Amino acid sequence: MPNNRVKTSKALQSKKGKAALSKLHPHSRRAKQLTRVGLRCDKLSHEKKERRKIENSKVNRLLWFSLSLDPDLSSISLPELHKLLELYLNRNTDQLESERSERRTGRPKSMIQERIELELERESEEYSTGFVLPDLTSPQNVFLLRQWAEVHSGDPSFMPRIRLIRIFRDTPDKIIEEQKGAADSITLVSSSADQDQSMNQPLETIDQTKSFSS
């Protein structure tokens, strides 16, 4: 007995798949099978877009801190890091005020205004529970961060090499390690000979409750 089961979107997009779909009774077993394949493909596509969106958000955050740090500084103190974070949280203030002033009385908010306000609310809440950002108190990590941004153009595959920490609005002296990174390395990839070794080196398990003092 031939196996006519369609499992992938590629099969659906083929002439055979389209022809088969057009001739099927809407309540037949095969029609339901093809419908499930279509729903599965839609779900996978949506999940892929969401993962890419989250990844891009992380990249943009790290790039902002890398480019906003004074190039003459090799590191900053923890209080200075909090001040830099405040600048990050208010980075869209001018645009938000512009959107609010242009909005007519009785008119709904623009999509841009809603997006900025939602983002500000989410990031402010994150600051209360622990805001994740690159550790700029470590000269070695700052060097890696700049190398990632300038040499590797913010390549997401290198982000696990950067040490990330959480800092808190109400307890400004508290730091929790979010991602160990590779701050003991001089460069992201010191040479072609040890590239595989450095990139394949497993990161140690991170203790989310471990605190560090400045």
Domain boundaries, the chain: 7-68
How far is it, in rounded angstroms, from Cα 32 to Cα 25?
10
**Tens-place pLDDT, residues 19-59:** 555 666 666 776 666 667 676 777 667 667 777 778 899 99
- C-beta of residue 76 within 8 angstroms of C-beta of residue 44: no
Secondary structure of 177-194 as H, E, C letters: EEECCCCCCCCCCCCCCC
* pTM across the whole model: 0.66
Distances (CA, A) of 108 to 38, 102, 103, 113: 36, 11, 8, 10
Least confident interval from 10-19, 97-106, 194-203: 194-203
**Tens-place pLDDT, residues 149-178:** 999 999 999 999 999 999 999 999 999 999
Higher pLDDT, 140 or 211: 140
How far is it, in rounded angstroms, from Cα 87 to Cα 92?
9
Average pLDDT over residues 89-100: 92
pLDDT at 135 over 50: yes
pLDDT for position 184:
56
